[in-house]
Amino acid sequence: MLVLLPPSEGKTVPAAGPRLDLDVLSLPELSGPRRACIDSLVTLCRTRPDAALGILGLSPRQAHELERNAGLETAPTAPAWQVYRGVLFEALDMAGANPRARERLVQWVLVWSGLWGVVGLDDPIPAYRLSGSVNVPGPGRLASFWREPLRRAMAEVTTEQVILDLRSGTYTASWTGPAESTVAVRVIHEQGERRTVASHFNKSTKGRLLAALAAGDAEPSSVAELVDAIQEAGFRVETAQPRAATRSPKPRILDVVVTSL
């Protein structure tokens, strides 16, 4: 199974660790585009700090993020699961997972990123600030920049694997999994007879769902087996209404229905 996660805007800054080494990151064929992104981001933040704030969508109070970006190549790194600290990663709780569950998560997960394209949970990265929606001088719009490199790189890792796509729309724009083997999850908040697409519960539910799958025994190799595994993990799942017909088939959507956190 392959699981796709979004990154988090919030990062934990490693206090110590080796410098960035692109050669040790997952999917090393992405090293060229990664280098281009790093060089462009570092140059922007070092030479045009005022413009960089606007381009990166930061306020003056977040100017320290520019200094962090400018020092990417010499900053200490830590495994990606320690660096990302948003709601989804807190709910996933890699630090509290038993060794077997943690090993499965490392094997399963790729985290999407505007800077790296994708990284594995154990990949050593520094803290940085770059949303996948940004238009960076040089690479341009990152979703477009990463589309072709990711198409080539992902072709080798998606063969005969079921894919659980937990990404946000910002990151699905750069790559979409094969329709026949991909399941996207939508979290639905049910309050009596009223249902809404969850906002507050969305990321935390996805993190808890993935943690439960890793702690279980299932090794799903098809969409049907993945649906069964999600249900066995204690989640209420419904198949969403099919999308309107399009030229390119879209992945199946599963609704995970929650009433509370």
Name which residue leads in pLDDT, 17 or 252: 17
Half-sphere exposure of 100 (CA within 13 A, CB side): 8
Nearest to residue 218, comparing CAs of 206, 228, 204, 205?
A: 228
Rounded Cα distance between 186 and 150, Å, is 24
pLDDT-above-70 percentage for the chain:
97
The predicted model scores a pTM of 0.93
What would the pLDDT profile of 213-251 be if each residue is shown by its tens digit? 999 999 999 999 999 999 999 999 998 765 555 566 788
140's tokens:
């341009």
Tell me the mean pLDDT in the region 186-214: 90
pLDDT value of position 249: 74
Confidence of residue 57 (pLDDT cuts 50, 70, 90): very high
Q: Is the pLDDT of residue 7 over 80?
A: yes
pLDDT value of position 158: 87
Rounded Cα distance between 76 and 215, Å, is 31
Half-sphere exposure of 253 (CA within 13 A, CB side): 14
